[in-house]
Amino acid sequence: MNYKITNGAISYGADTIIEEIEFEIKDKDKIAIVGRNGCGKTTLLKSIVDNSMLEEGIGENKFSVYKQGNPSIGYLKQIDFEDPSKTMLEEILKVYKPIIELEEKINKLTDLLQNSNDEKLIKDYSNSVEKYELIGGYTYKKEYETAIKKFGFIDEDKQKRIDEFSGGQRTKIAFLKLILSKPDILLLDEPTNHLDIAAIEWLENYLKNYPKAVVIVSHDRMFLDRIVNKVYEIEYGQMKEYVGNYSEFEKQKRIDYEKRLKDYEYQQAEIKRLNSIADRFRYKPTKAKMALSKLKKIEQMDIIEEPNKYDLKSFHADFNIEIESVKTVLIVKDLKIGYNEKIVENNISFNLYKGQKLGIIGENRNR
Ligand SMILES: Nc1ncnc2c1ncn2[C@@H]1O[C@H](COP(=O)(O)OP(=O)(O)OP(=O)(O)O)[C@@H](O)[C@H]1O
Ligand SMILES: [Mg+2]
C-alpha cells in the first residue's frame, strides 16, 4: 500500500493553510502529525479522506495524489450510528461480519457432516476452517472483549443500547469499532483525549503492533514517542518530514536550529567585518577599490535569514495572576463525593498549599 501527495496545498478561501504538501504513507508506517494549535493538522487529515480539498501547490513538482492498492481509510470523527437502539455488542459485532458469517457456515456444515461423508462437503468444511483461522476467527472474541474492558466498559454495558450511553462513551464505542475494523490507513485525531491511563497504555500497544498504517495527531509526546517511526511537522504553513520517533524529531529540530543559528551568526559577523573595513578605507584613494570590493562581496552573499526561534510548544498562554495567593490555598476535611449516592466510598481530606500541583487520576468506569 502506498498513499502519496505531491506538491499539494490546502486553502480556506483566501487563506492558504498548508503549502507544498509532500506527504507519504507506506504499508505499516506509524506517522505523527505535529504542530501548534491551528497549524492545520486536522485539516490535513480531512484532506487525506477528501482529496477535493487539495489543490496545486507552489512547488516545482506536478501536483498529484497517488493511491496504490485502493486503501481503505478509517477516520475517527464525531459519531454516527445508523440505529442507536442497537446494543453496544451488536454494534461491535458488525465489525466482524465476515467472521460471523463464516462461523454460521461452519456450524451448518458441521451439522450436515454428522450424517454425511460427501467429499465436497468435507473439502468445503476444511477450506472454511482454514479461512476462519486466517481471518481471526479464533481470536476475535478475545480481541474485542479486551478492547471493551480496556476502554473502561463493564460486561453489562455490552447489552446496553447505544442511545443509553453518554456522548463521550459513544465516541469511545465508535473508536473501538474503528480500530477493530482494521482499515489500511487509520487516521486518529487526538485519540488519547478522554481515555484513562489503562486505556492509553492498551491503545499504545495496539497501535504499535497494528499491521497496517496509522496517522496520529496528538499533543501527547510520550504517546507518540512509543508508537511512531516518522513525524511530519507543520510550521509556518509548511510541512517537513523527520524520520524516527518524537524524540528523534526533537533532536533533529534542535540540531537544525543550532546549525542555522550558527551559520546566521557567522554570516552576520562577516558582514559587520566587511562593512567596517569598507567604512574605514572607502575615502582613501589608494584603498577605495579594495573597500568597494568588500561591499560587493556582501552584495553577492546568499543572505541567511535569522532562524525562527526553536520552540516546540504546541500551546501558548499567559495567565496573569490577579490576586497573589496565600500559603494555604485549600483545606479539605471529610469531603463526600456523589449525587444521590456516594460515588467515592471514603471521605476525602487534604491540604493544598501555594505552589503545589495536584493531579486527580482515575479510571473511566464509575463502578
Ligand atoms: N472550515 C473551515 N473554514 C475556514 N477556516 C478553517 C476551517 N477549518 C479550519 N480552519 C482554519 O484552518 C486552520 C487550521 O485548522 P485545524 O483545525 O486544521 O488546526 P489544528 O492543527 O488541527 O489545530 P489543533 O491543534 O487546535 O487541533 C485554523 O487557522 C482554522 O481556523
Ligand atoms: Mg485539530
- Residue 123: inside a domain, yes or no? no
Q: Using the 3D structure, point to which of 300, 330, 346 is the last residue of a domain.
A: 300
For 28-84, the pLDDT digits (tens) are 999 999 998 889 999 999 999 999 999 999 999 999 999 998 999 999 865 567 788
CA of 192 from ligand 1 middle (Å) equals 20
- Which residue CA neighbors atom 29 of ligand 1 most closely? 38
Closest listed ligand to the CA of 35: 1
Closest listed ligand to the CA of 43: 1
5 pLDDT more than 90: yes
| 0.75 exceeded by pTM | yes
Residues 229 and 276 in one domain: no
Any residues with Cβ below 6 Å from ligand 1, and which?
Answer: 12, 17, 35, 37-43
- Residue 323: inside a domain, yes or no? no
Could you tell me the three cell numbers for 277? Answer: 573595513
- Residue 231: inside a domain, yes or no? yes
Residues in Cβ contact with 193 at an 8 Å cutoff, skipping those fewer than 6 apart? none
Q: What is the DSSP letter of 13?
A: T
- Highest averaged pLDDT of the listed ranges 170-184, 191-205, 312-326: 170-184
Residues 231 and 270 in one domain: no
Residues 235 and 278 in one domain: no
Residues 228 and 192 in one domain: yes
Angle at 263 between CA 240 and CA 232, to 5 degrees: 10
- Residue 218: inside a domain, yes or no? yes
Share of the chain above pLDDT 70, in %: 96
Rounded to whole angstroms, the Cα distance separating 195 from 211 reads: 23
CA of 29 from ligand 1 middle (Å) equals 25
- Cβ count within 10 A of residue 338: 9
For 253-270, the pLDDT digits (tens) are 999 899 999 999 999 999
For 184-243, the pLDDT digits (tens) are 999 999 888 777 788 888 899 999 999 999 999 998 999 999 999 999 999 989 999 999
Residues 290 and 223 in one domain: no
Domain extent for 10? 1-72+183-244
Q: Using the 3D structure, point to which of 272, 300, 328 is the last residue of a domain.
A: 300
- Residue 293: inside a domain, yes or no? yes
Ion ligand 2, residues whose Cβ is below 5 A away: 41-42
Instruction: Note the pLDDT of residue 214.
Output: 97
- Residue 352: inside a domain, yes or no? no
Residues 8 and 64 in one domain: yes
Residues 228 and 266 in one domain: no
Share of the chain above pLDDT 90, in %: 70
Q: What is the DSSP letter of 110?
A: H
Instruction: Note the pLDDT of residue 327.
Output: 94
Specify the ligand 1 atom closest to the Cα of 43. Answer: 18
Bridge partners (DSSP) of residue 12 are 15
- Residue 325: inside a domain, yes or no? no
**Type of residue numbered 178:** L
CA of 152 from ligand 1 middle (Å) equals 31
Q: What is the mean pLDDT of residues 135-156?
A: 92
> Mapping DSSP to helix (H, G, I), strand (E, B) and coil, where does residue 213 land?
strand
Give the CATH number for residue 56. Answer: 3.40.50.300
Residues 235 and 269 in one domain: no
- Residue 286: inside a domain, yes or no? yes
Diameter over CA atoms, the chain: 117
Rounded to whole angstroms, the Cα distance separating 29 from 128 reads: 32
Residues 3 and 66 in one domain: yes
What is the number of domains present in the chain? 2
CA of 174 from ligand 1 middle (Å) equals 23
CA of 17 from ligand 1 middle (Å) equals 8
Rounded to whole angstroms, the Cα distance separating 151 from 250 reads: 31
